[in-house]
């Protein structure tokens, strides 16, 4: 049994990751692969429970450290109970966000520092990395329009942070991709979903052949 492949989609809010994750999974299935689409935070019952704590925090909300630990805990469960078993069984994983979201949001924009996030990931998930990370980028105006259409102003605790925070997130993602060209593909997220999907199909050829 050959190991499955692990593809993560990353990017800020409103970049179209969830739509593209679905389209990608369908395309891979048409090629005869068995694919699981999943997301973070979430993907297992435990991690989904942590997701609601993170996105709709009780009381006054989480401090930066607690937030990072909760994301790492959700990821540890997701990796151990779902991602690693699927890959071992030869299934492909298409994951809407993974550890680079923690590096960008909690590490860079949230100020905890990247090393802390990498250390938590090492403890929680033994440092698992995707085989390929698709970084979907759109300009700020496009993202704002898409978010308004989707959330109608009712953003969650993290999505609702100020534009400076989200700008830092976008810059962080870009710097990760530039530092690791073999691990990332930069995807232009502008245009309609079918156009973006074509760009993604070109980018994943390197995993299929
Ligand atoms: P979600 O609704 O899935 O985001 P979107 O559809 O905008 O991609 O909510 C996930 C939120 O959690 C999003 O604001 C990004 C944030 N997040 C982190 O801050 N750190 C992480 O490690 C992950 C996985 C997500």
Residues 188-202 have pLDDT tens digits of 999 999 999 999 999
Which pLDDT does position 206 carry in this prediction? Answer: 86
Q: Which atom of ligand 1 is nearest to the CA of 98?
A: 24
Which pLDDT does position 208 carry in this prediction? Answer: 83
Q: Which atom of ligand 1 is nearest to the CA of 102?
A: 22
Rounded to whole angstroms, the Cα distance separating 144 from 163 reads 10
Report which protein residue has its CA nearest ligand 1's atom 16: 158
> How far, in Å, from the CA of 47 to the mean position of ligand 1?
13
Q: Which atom of ligand 1 is nearest to the CA of 42?
A: 24
Which pLDDT does position 209 carry in this prediction? Answer: 67
Residues of the chain with pLDDT > 70, as a percent, come to 99
Give the pLDDT band (50/70/90) at residue 98.
very high
Report which protein residue has its CA nearest ligand 1's atom 23: 101
Q: Which of 200, 196, 15 is nearest to 97 (CA)?
A: 15
Q: Which atom of ligand 1 is nearest to the CA of 13?
A: 7
Average pLDDT over residues 90-106: 98
Q: Per the omega criterion (within 30 degrees of 0), is the bond before 41 cis? A: yes
Which pLDDT does position 146 carry in this prediction? Answer: 82
> How far, in Å, from the CA of 86 to the mean position of ligand 1?
23
Average pLDDT over residues 20-35: 97
Q: What are the tens digits of pLDDT across the range 121-158?
A: 999 999 999 999 999 999 988 888 888 887 776 778 89
Which alpha helices (H) appear in the chain, and where do they start and end? 17-30, 45-55, 64-78, 84-88, 99-101, 114-125, 140-151, 163-179, 193-208
Q: Is the pLDDT of residue 14 over 90?
A: no
> How far, in Å, from the CA of 45 to the mean position of ligand 1?
17
Rounded to whole angstroms, the Cα distance separating 177 from 183 reads 8
Cα distances (angstroms) measured from residue 195 to each of 8, 13, 201: 19, 19, 10
Which pLDDT does position 81 carry in this prediction? Answer: 98
Rounded to whole angstroms, the Cα distance separating 44 from 84 reads 13
Which residues contact residue 21 at a Cβ distance below 8 angstroms, ignoring those fewer than 6 apart?
A: 9, 37, 39, 94, 95, 96
């Amino acid at each position: 049994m050959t190991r499955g492949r692990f593809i993560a989609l990353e990017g800020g809010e409103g970049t179209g990751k969830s739509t593209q994750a679905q389209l990608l999974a369908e395309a891979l299935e048409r090629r005869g692969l068995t694919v699981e689409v999943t997301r973070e935070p979430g993907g297992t019952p435990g991690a989904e429970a942590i997701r609601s704590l993170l996105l709709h925090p009780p009381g006054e909300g989480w401090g930066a450290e607690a937030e990072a630990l909760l994301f790492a805990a959700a990821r540890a469960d997701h990796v151990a109970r779902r991602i690693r078993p699927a890959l071992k069984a030869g299934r492909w994983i298409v994951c809407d966000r993974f550890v680079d979201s923690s590096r960008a949001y909690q590490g860079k924009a949230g100020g905890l520092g990247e090393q802390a996030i990498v250390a938590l990931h090492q403890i929680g998930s033994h440092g698992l990395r995707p085989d390929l990370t698709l970084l979907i980028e759109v300009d700020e105006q496009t993202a704002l329009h898409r978010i308004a259409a989707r959330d109608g102003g009712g953003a969650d605790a993290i999505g609702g942070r100020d534009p400076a925070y989200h700008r830092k997130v976008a810059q962080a993602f870009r710097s990760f991709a530039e530092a690791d060209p073999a691990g990332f593909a930069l995807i232009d997220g502008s245009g309609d979903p079918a156009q973006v999907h074509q760009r993604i199909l070109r980018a994943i050829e390197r995993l299929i052949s």
